[in-house]
Structure 1
Amino acid sequence: MSADPPSSQPTLSRRQLLGAGGFAALGAWYVRPSEFTDEQSLDSTVPDNAWPMAGRTPSRSGYAPASDAPTNEVRAVWQTDVGDPGFYLSATVRDDTVYTTTRNELVALDAERGTERWRFGKEFVQGGPVAIEGGACYSAGVSLYAVAGGRAEWKFKTTSSFSEILPVGNTIFIPARVGSSDGLVALDAGSGIPRWKATTEWIPLAYANDVLVGTGGSGVVVGLDAKTGEKLWELSRVGLPGNISSPLRFGPVIANGTLFGGTETLYAVDLQAGSVQWSADAVGPWMASDGDAVYRARDGHVVALNASDGSMRWETSANALTVVSGLAVTDDAIYVGVDSGVVALDTETGDELFAFRSDSTAGGGPPAVVGERVYVGIGETIVALEEA
């Protein structure tokens, strides 16, 4: 796999590139990264008071270790209607701002009060939002936009739609067709300028410890060098990496150097070697892990497995939960996005701690846990919950 930028491209400064047209919509330009960007950083840490992407961190583990989130009855601190999302509302949070998307817009809300700050966009939304320093990224039409204060900072235009957006440090990974060539593109988060492009089409799913996990189709996961795009290993198993073709994007998670993924069977894969450590019968698309346990959910129930060997810890009663849409986990509770609300379960026993359901008959989105609050989309409304 070749991931090196061509040497024939011109030498341009970042300022020159951005000044040429306001956006870094460079298409197939792949300039040597050392000539216009900061050195690539793959720092995957996330501020304590943030839930900037699906699964919270690039590992997609859904784990928020420093949290005072509610474990008893809750109340809605605020509820803000944002508009029709088309499918479900997801909330990402950073720098006291909640980001979400409707069918055609990126919307920013004040995280404390729920008041609307700004809206951006008119194209059909494909993926995101992902909160980055100073703003958010999302894909719409065939482009990736970086937006701050309601204005586009840069735009990377491709020739085909995509929904996967994975930020790691100062790099954003997307699967992109540029011209007639499919590939995995690593963009500079500050400018939208490509750092490198892998010529083989890999969809970026998760990242940890310098390994970018991707897939090239059903039954295959790959480990890639996140600095170059070169393939480190490839693993084929039925059901891997998960049901990522779903609009809810049921992808794998990484915790403590282990990748967990699969549909009917749950596989634990060594992240560095790409070898299967164990497998277990644990059906369900949604997962989260605190490193000690792996939590898996599907419509009806949640199971907890030991991360070390896949043995069962506990399982909720069948059909106790309906239309599960996502998981978030802290040291004390698992927050399950369900139809029209959120249910919290005890991490040790699986017992219900509280349940919040609105009067809406619309579906609920995955929860985001930040500080003392849980943010969740229900129908066309973002709701902020605190302990009552």
Structure 2
Amino acid sequence: MAKGSPNRWGYQPESAPQTGLSEQWQGEAGPSNIVQSGLSVSGGRVFTVGRYTLRAFDSRQGTLEWTQRQPDQFAGSFVDDPEFEFIQSGPTVSGERVFSVSSVTLYERNATSGETGWAFRTNSSFDHVLPVGNVVFAGVSIDGENQLVALDQSTGLRQWTQSVNEVPMAFGWADDPGSETTLLVTGRWGGSATDELVARDPTDGTVLWRTSDLPPEFVDLLLPAVGRGRVYAGGNGVTAFNTADGSVAWTVETSTLSPSGTPVTNGDRVYITGPNTAVCVDASSGEELWSTTVEGTSRLVSPVVTDDMLYLAAGPTVVALDTADGTEQFRHTVSDRGELIHDLASVAGYLYVRIGNSIRAFTDVSGAEA
């Protein structure tokens, strides 16, 4: 799941490495043909994708549990070697199901075995997939029409369709966590600038509100975060929208956050990166609490936040900052071959890094085996 959960907080309540990184295992992921190659950790497994292959590793030992490739039904006899469908999206996990898009098709697979359950075919490639509860949302194109669809996770059958050029970005409560009212946040598809976010009723797709206050630097790769009555969006600084009606609660605009990346939050604070910068703001008021320089930060790699640490990708290097004041706690260069970090995830004391064609698993140096 991108940023760890449907609300896209990027928050991991369990402690992660505090004093440094000790590599525990390394797995081959292969080259990827998508911007965000994707890394999901769930149920004791780490899921990642290559150009043609979806893989699942044991999260502690790094053993490859299964690998799946989808044969290209249109390749046929024109080539000597078998052809496989390009993977268009990172793996997204929901319970015992893992979802990914290959070519123009959304596949549902068993997370334990990798076996395919159902397939939902479209007419064009797509990459935004968001499973929540018993539904999986996707923005697709079918017979020349752009559609936002909600599919039953068990069967792949449609629950509803809206004929719009929008993709699912985040899901959350309209008020406080646990309230009965929920909302699906969508945005215009295309990997280019969009001028609005849309809140929809997840039960039928009807519009709850729209906002046109997004900065021009916001793109659909910058997934917003939803929580505690706010939608936090990056692009140029960070803007907090009220989930009740889409009105702007506060905006933080600084030259160091133009353009900015995707925000993460622990509920009380919001963290966001800009060119060579990391900034922390109060989630309620938007007051800037601290700002620090981190050379080489990537706009497209979402940070990971725990209660006491913020982990950033800076080229091939993981940088850990204290969440309280932004002071650097440690940095670790994962590769010296010029490879870039594509994704970060943290679960149960481990920090997982997708870099180049590999996936690496790290624990704290203080807890590493001698």
Instruction: Place the TM-score, normalised by the shorter chain, in its bin.
Output: 0.7 to 0.9
Residue of structure 1 aligned with 2:239, choices 253, 257, 267: 267
Distance change (3 Å), C-alpha of 1:147 and 1:61: same
Task: Give the 3-state SS of the residue equivalent to 2:3 in structure 1.
Answer: coil
Alignment partner, residue 107 of structure 1? 55
Q: How far 1:338 moved relative to its partner?
A: 2.6
Matched, 1:174 2:138: yes
Alignment partner, residue 206 of structure 2? 230
Residue of structure 1 aligned with 2:266, choices 273, 277, 290: 290
| Partners of 2:61 and 2:37 in 1: CA distance | 18
Alignment partner, residue 28 of structure 2? 81
Q: How far 1:265 moved relative to its partner?
A: 4.0
Alignment partner, residue 298 of structure 2? 323
**Structure 1 residues 203-243: Cα deviation after superposition (integer angstroms, max 9, x where no partner):** 11111021001123611111100111000111102426922
Residue of structure 2 aligned with 1:279, choices 238, 243, 251: 251
Instruction: Output aligned runs, 1:116-127, within 5 Å.
Output: 116-121=64-69, 122-127=84-89
Alignment partner, residue 360 of structure 1? 337
Alignment partner, residue 179 of structure 2? none
Alignment partner, residue 300 of structure 1? 276
Task: Give the 3-state SS of the residue equivalent to 1:366 in structure 2.
Answer: strand
| Partners of 1:193 and 1:156 in 2: CA distance | 8
Residue of structure 2 aligned with 1:205, choices 150, 160, 169: 169
Q: How far 1:146 moved relative to its partner?
A: 1.1
Q: Which residue identity is paired with 1:332?
A: D
Which 5+ residue runs of structure 2 have no aligned equivalent? 70-83, 174-181, 366-370
- Aligned residues with identical type, % of pairs: 31
- Preserved contact between residue 78 and residue 114 of structure 1 (Cα < 8 Å): yes
- Preserved contact between residue 89 and residue 364 of structure 1 (Cα < 8 Å): no
- Preserved contact between residue 37 and residue 89 of structure 2 (Cα < 8 Å): no
Q: How far 1:179 moved relative to its partner?
A: 2.3
Which 5+ residue runs of structure 1 have no aligned equivalent? 1-52
- Preserved contact between residue 135 and residue 147 of structure 1 (Cα < 8 Å): yes
| Partners of 2:141 and 2:240 in 1: CA distance | 31
Matched, 1:349 2:325: yes
Q: Which residue identity is paired with 2:203?
A: K
- Preserved contact between residue 235 and residue 262 of structure 2 (Cα < 8 Å): no
Q: Which residue identity is paired with 1:73?
A: G
| Partners of 2:218 and 2:224 in 1: CA distance | 7
Alignment partner, residue 153 of structure 2? 189
Distance change (3 Å), C-alpha of 1:252 and 1:223: same
| Partners of 2:249 and 2:311 in 1: CA distance | 28
Task: Give the 3-state SS of the residue equivalent to 1:109 in structure 2.
Answer: strand
| Partners of 1:351 and 1:378 in 2: CA distance | 25
**Structure 1 residues 271-330: Cα deviation after superposition (integer angstroms, max 9, x where no partner):** 12111111110421121011111101134120001111211111112x534435221111
Query: Which stretch has the larger CA shift, 84-93 or 170-179?
Result: 84-93
